[in-house]
Every structure is written in structure tokens, then in C-alpha cells.
């Protein structure tokens, strides 16, 4: 396990509103910027008002007109879990509102690429004949595609959350909290969050127009299970607004009030609805949905979410599970090959370059993002992994993952600006991006990209570190605190689950399923023994665990045969002298 610098998250003065909580919880929340108990209650009435979304009145009028005239609506989605949940939510809610003609189309990533391209508009015109196209989780950079649709007499409503370029598409309406001059306070909504806000506002808008006289208006809170799934899966920051959406959706799922497809995906992932946590959505459902878009067609994932029949949902969930197994096998093979390539370079810590770029003609473009993320985690460097964009091999696509402090899209943009023609096109965020370039440009791009990262990276940014919540008093290593922490979320991006540190003495250990290390530990200042587990460990590192260890761990609850015990989930360890 590569060494990491353990840092303790600074804790400001604990607000008086939090001082009645367990002292560890109060400390944890204060360190994450929580100021009041209201932020922890996750009430729907505390959601930011949709009235602050720029473009909402125009979007509502456009949708109301389309519904009154019963025109054909086509949802154009994206091929990841946020795109799948956004598409499913739009289709389900619009049908419940009263739209008779709602269909969807998701570009095949291998044939059309991302977004509302002119090519996918041509497919839509030929096969679906829409009057209105609604993009979900994409579209904000699709100027050419929007122009193609408008030229054909099709109106376009863009719903997106990605960062905007200098020139926005000439759409009939745009809803994106990150578009210029949008005062909406939560810039961290994902695609499905934007769709939820739009359609919840549409229900209210139509009620005022008498649309629902003689019929029941849908309750948009019924769809919060889908919103929670997409929000967690897209790894957007869980600010106070997103935590409300996720917490409310999780509660619906725990009560069994969720889509049959979500319940089926949790079953194939061997997760209990009643004890579901936010990370179960991210680690259990999201990979199975994403596998469809990575290896085949995201329509499989969308149909699973749309399914009303539990039997059909189960069948589709099992198909997605099989795709995910195949995805893992491809990913593992690519990762092993990538590590062999890097091993041949024989980098020492002091010679490790500021960025890593890899390309192999036989790699699968549907999995390169995952492999880039794995390598980024292993080497703590911005990483871009490329695969052929098509059978010709003349063009390659890259998926990029970055480390805190290095803005991936800005680094790629710097290269594109300084060396015109080197990159065909690109887009993305601070932590993740995608790009396309001629295969012959790979080596020059790699050199220029490393130069761009070297210009902005500091030694501190290139040093792997873990932000922790410090040590726990041994009396706090209890089931009571573990249960309070489990219930204290939802934890996630930018609102991380608490991670504690401490030194422990190893009493016993054993290997589970050839990849997990089960430990029995004792705190030096406390006599009771504790259970700990390190998942998916490198058995070379753990062949004989040292007798005394410094651990970074999460306090968790292990329930087996109806009995609950406190358990430490080990994230990192270092040997310590006896």
C-alpha cells in the first residue's frame, strides 16, 4: 500500500445548535460546515426554490403548450447512471402528467459519442419524428445538434448541469444551474436533480391552469428514489440541497416505496432495502446501470427503471448484473496490462511524472474511465487512459481522472489552446473529462499534457493524503456511536463519511475469500477487543500483518444473523514499532 500523508480535518468552533449531539457527531458535523440542526433534518420544505432557476418560466410555457397540443416529446439522454435516471424520470413523470407521446433515445457511445450531436438528431428525425426534444444530463455544449433540430422545425429544451462554454446553444429553453447569471444557489444538482425540479414545477404550473381537473396530479416525491440514485451515482457534491434529495429518496427505498427496477438491482447486489445507505446506491446499483452504457446500450438500464412488473424488472436487473460481471473482467484485464506497462517504466516515487497517459489499441473505450480512476488512486496522479474511437484506429478517445487541486478540464484546455489541432475536441469537469485526438498525436499530447500539469501542480498536491477526523477516545469505539454515524448521513462527495485514525494491537487475523483481511484488534488504552476488516486488500502487503498498526478506519455496524456489532472498516494502514 503506497504511503499516504494523514491529515486531520480542521474543526471550527462547534455551533451551539450542535452541542446537544454526541460529541463526536458534533465535531464531525462542524468540520463539514453544518451550522444548524435544520440542515440535518433533510426536510423537503428546506429545498432551494425552483423559482431561482434561470429559464424556468420559458421551459414551463414550452412544456405546457406541448402537452395541450399533445405533441410528440423525445427525451435524449446520456449513457451513464445519471443519464439513465434522468431519462427514466422524465418519461415516467411526463406520462403521469398526461403526455400521450413520450419516447426516449440514448446515443450509443461507440457510434455517436456524447450529447445531442447532429448525427443523433438525424436518427431522432428519421425514427421518432419529435415535435420537442428534451435533453437530460447533456446538451449545454450541443450547439450544432440544436441547430440541426431547429432547422428541421423541432423545438429543443435543454436540461443539463455541466459547465457551460462561451456560447450557449440556440435552444428554445435552457435549464441549467451552471449557466451564466443563474441565481439558483445549489450549483451541484446533477442531471436527474434538474429534471426533478423542472417537472415538479410543471405539476404546480399545470395545477394553476386547471390541467388536472377530473384527474389526479402525480406526486413528484414518489420519484425521489430515482433522484437519490442518480445524485449519488454521479458523485456530485452532497451540499445541503442534494442531501435532502438523497435522504428523502433513501427513506422511500427503505420503506419499499421504490421502482421495481431499483428493488431488483438491490436484490441482485445482495443489499437489504431496510438498511440501505447512500454508498449502496453508488457501489451496488450504479455500476450495474453503467455497465449497460459501457458495454452495450443504456436502454437496458432505462428499461429496468421504467419496468412496472417486478418480474420484468428482475429479469432486466439480472441481465445488467451479467453485463457488470463482464465489465469487471474487462476492467481487470486492462488494469493488469496497464500496470505491467507502468512496471516496465520502473518509476521510483521521486521519478514518477506529474501525469500518467496510457494507450493500447486493444483496450475497450467503455471501460477506460474506470481504469483511469483506478490508476489515479494507485499513483495519485492525474491519469488519462485512451482506447480506439472506432475500428479504423485513426482516432482515439481518452477518459481522464484527476486528483484534488488539479483541474482536469482546464489542463486539457491549456494544451488545446497552446497547441491547436493536437486535440479534436474535449469536455468535462475538474475531476473528470473526456477528449478525442488523432492516434498519431498521442505521444506529443502526452508530453504536452504532462507539461501543463507540471506548470500548475504543487508538491503538496502530488503527495497522496487522507483527510481524517482524528482519533477517537477508546470509550467511543462503541456500537452506539457506530449506529449514530450510520444514521447521520447521507454521506458522500464533499460530505465525506467520517474517517478516524488510531494505533491498535493485532490480536488475530485471517483471510476471507482470498481478498479480504479480517482482524481482531485491541486499543492500547482499552481492554476490549474489536473486529476490523480490510476489503479487497493486496495480499502481498497483508501476508503477515504487523503486530502494531496505525489505521485509518470507518466505524461501522456489522449485522450477522440478527446480531449487530461494531466493526472497523480499514481504509489504510501503516506498521508501528512495538
Q: Under a CB-based contact definition with an 8 Å cutoff, are residues 466 and 499 in contact?
A: yes
Cα–Cα nearest to 364, from 438, 287, 291: 291
For 509-554, the pLDDT digits (tens) are: 888 877 888 998 998 877 788 999 988 776 666 667 788 999 999 9
**CATH numeric code, 347-456:** 3.10.310.30
Residue 110 per-residue DSSP state = T
pLDDT at 100 over 80: yes
Q: What is the pLDDT of residue 10?
A: 95
pLDDT at 138 over 90: yes
pLDDT at 575 over 80: yes
Q: What is the pLDDT of residue 499?
A: 97
Q: Under a CB-based contact definition with an 8 Å cutoff, are residues 290 and 254 in contact?
A: no
Distance CA 272, CA 565 (A): 17
Give whichever of 91-95, 328-332, 515-519, 565-569 has the largest mean pLDDT.
91-95
pLDDT band at 161, cuts 50/70/90? very high
pLDDT at 38 over 80: yes
pLDDT at 1 over 60: no
Helix, strand, coil percent values for the chain (each to nearest 5): 45, 20, 40
Domain 466-575: CATH architecture, name and number where available:
Beta Barrel (2.40)
**CATH numeric code, 44-321:** 3.90.1640.30
Q: What is the pLDDT of residue 2?
A: 60
pLDDT band at 400, cuts 50/70/90? very high
| Phi/psi of residue 165, nearest 5 degrees | -90, -170
pLDDT at 12 over 90: yes
| β partners of residue 569 | 533, 554
Q: What angle do CA 262, 264, 269 make, to 5 degrees?
A: 95
Q: Calculate the alpha carbon distances from 179 to 117, 230, 256, 413 in Å.
A: 20, 21, 37, 19
Fold identical between 347-456 and 466-575?
Answer: no
Q: What is the pLDDT of residue 542?
A: 61
pLDDT band at 79, cuts 50/70/90? confident
Q: What is the pLDDT of residue 541?
A: 61
For 192-220, the pLDDT digits (tens) are: 999 999 999 999 999 999 999 988 999 99
pLDDT band at 297, cuts 50/70/90? confident
Cβ-based neighbours of 166, under 8 Å, separated by 6 or more: none
Q: What is the mean pLDDT of the chain?
A: 92
Distance CA 88, CA 75 (A): 9
Residue 222 per-residue DSSP state = G
Q: What is the pLDDT of residue 395?
A: 94
**Helix axis angle, 118-127 relative to 143-151, nearest 10°?**
30
| Structural domain spans, the chain | 44-321, 347-456, 466-575
Q: What is the mean pLDDT of residues 24-49?
A: 96
Q: Which of these ranges, 51-55, 159-163, 300-304, has the smallest mean pLDDT? A: 159-163
Can you give the pTM of this predicted structure? 0.92
Q: Under a CB-based contact definition with an 8 Å cutoff, are residues 386 and 445 in contact?
A: no
Please compute, for residue 320, the number of CA atoms within 13 A of its CA located in the half-sphere on the CB side. 35
Q: What is the mean pLDDT of residues 251-279?
A: 95
For 406-419, the pLDDT digits (tens) are: 999 999 999 999 99
| Helix, strand or coil, per DSSP, at residue 85 | helix
Distance CA 203, CA 219 (A): 8
For 344-393, the pLDDT digits (tens) are: 877 777 778 999 999 999 999 889 999 999 999 889 999 999 999 888 88
For 41-72, the pLDDT digits (tens) are: 999 999 999 999 999 999 999 999 999 999 99
Q: What is the mean pLDDT of residues 329-341?
A: 90
Amino acid at each position: 500500500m503506497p504511503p499516504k500523508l494523514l491529515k486531520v480535518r480542521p474543526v471550527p468552533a462547534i455551533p451551539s445548535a450542535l452541542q446537544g449531539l454526541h460529541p463526536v457527531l458534533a465535531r464531525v458535523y462542524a468540520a463539514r460546515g453544518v451550522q444548524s440542526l435544520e440542515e440535518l433534518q433533510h426536510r423537503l420544505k428546506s429545498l432551494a426554490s425552483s423559482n431561482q432557476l434561470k429559464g424556468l418560466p420559458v421551459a414551463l410555457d414550452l412544456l405546457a403548450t406541448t402537452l395541450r397540443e399533445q405533441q410528440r416529446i423525445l427525451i435524449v439522454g446520456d449513457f451513464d447512471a445519471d443519464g439513465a435516471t434522468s431519462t427514466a424520470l422524465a418519461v415516467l413523470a411526463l406520462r403521469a402528467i398526461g403526455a400521450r407521446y413520450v419516447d426516449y433515445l440514448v446515443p450509443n457511445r461507440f457510434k455517436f459519442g456524447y450529447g445531442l450531436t447532429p448525427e443523433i438528431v438525424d436518427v431522432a428525425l428519421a425514427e421518432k419524428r419529435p415535435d420537442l426534444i428534451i435533453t437530460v444530463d447533456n446538451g449545454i455544449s450541443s450547439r450544432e445538434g440544436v441547430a440541426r433540430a431547429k432547422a428541421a422545425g423541432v423545438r429543443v429544451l435543454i436540461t443539463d448541469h455541466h459547465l457551460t462554454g462561451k456560447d450557449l446553444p440556440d435552444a428554445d429553453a435552457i435549464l441549467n444551474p451552471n449557466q451564466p447569471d443563474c441565481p439558483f444557489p445549489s450549483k451541484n444538482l446533477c442531471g436527474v436533480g434538474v429534471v426533478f425540479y423542472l417537472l415538479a414545477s410543471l405539476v404546480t404550473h399545470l395545477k394553476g391552469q386547471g390541467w388536472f381537473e377530473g384527474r389526479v396530479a402525480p406526486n413528484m416525491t414518489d420519484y425521489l428514489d430515482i433522484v437519490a440514485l442518480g445524485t449519488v451515482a454521479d458523485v456530485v457534491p452532497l451540499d445541503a440541497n442534494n442531501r435532502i434529495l438523497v435522504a428523502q429518496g433513501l427513506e422511500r427505498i427503505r420503506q419499499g416505496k421504490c421502482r421495481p427496477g431499483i428493488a431488483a438491482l438491490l436484490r441482485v447486489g445482495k443489499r437489504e432495502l431496510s438498511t440501505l445507505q447512500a454508498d449502496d446506491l453508488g457501489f451496488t446499483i450504479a455500476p450495474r446501470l453503467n455497465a449497460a452504457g459501457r458495454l452495450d446500450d443504456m436502454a437496458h438500464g432505462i428499461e429496468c427503471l421504467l419496468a412496472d412488473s417486478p418480474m420484468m424488472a428482475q429479469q432486466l436487473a439480472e441481465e445488467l448484473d451479467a453485463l457488470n460481471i463482464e465489465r469487471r473482467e474487462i476492467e481487470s484485464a486492462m488494469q493488469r496490462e496497464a500496470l505491467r506497462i507502468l512496471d516496465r517504466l520502473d518509476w521510483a516515487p521521486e521519478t514518477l511524472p506529474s501525469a500518467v497517459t496510457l494507450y493500447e489499441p486493444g483496450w475497450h473505450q467503455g471501460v477506460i474511465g474506470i481504469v483511469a480512476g483506478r490508476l489515479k488512486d494507485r499513483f495519485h496522479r492525474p491519469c488519462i487512459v485512451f482506447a480506439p474511437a472506432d475500428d479504423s484506429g485513426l482516432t482515439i478517445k481518452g477518459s481522464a481522472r484527476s486528483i484534488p487541486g488539479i483541474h482536469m478540464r482546464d489542463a486539457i484546455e491549456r494544451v488545446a489552446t497552446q497547441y491547436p489541432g493536437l486535440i479534436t475536441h474535449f469536455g468535462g469537469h475538474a475531476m473528470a473529462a473526456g477528449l478525442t485526438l488523432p492516434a498519431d498525436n498521442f505521444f506529443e499530447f502526452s508530453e504536452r499534457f504532462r507539461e501543463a500539469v507540471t506548470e500548475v501542480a504543487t508538491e503538496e498536491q502530488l503527495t497522496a493524503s487522507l483527510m481524517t477526523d482524528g482519533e477517537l477516545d477508546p470509550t467511543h469505539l462503541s456500537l452506539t456511536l457506530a449506529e449514530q454515524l450510520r444514521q447521520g448521513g447521507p454521506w458522500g462527495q464533499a460530505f465525506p463519511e467520517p474517517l478516524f485514525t488510531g494505533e491498535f494491537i493485532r490480536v488475530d487475523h485471517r483471510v476471507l475469500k482470498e481478498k479480504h483481511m479480517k482482524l481482531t484488534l485491541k486499543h492500547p488504552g482499552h481492554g476490549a477487543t474489536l473486529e476490523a476488516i480490510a476489503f479487497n486488500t493486496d495480499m502481498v502487503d497483508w501476508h503477515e500483518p504487523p503486530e502494531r498498526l496505525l489505521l485509518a478506519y470507518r466505524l461501522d455496524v456489522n449485522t450477522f444473523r440478527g446480531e449487530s456489532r461494531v466493526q472497523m472498516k480499514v481504509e489504510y494502514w501503516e506498521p508501528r514499532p512495538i
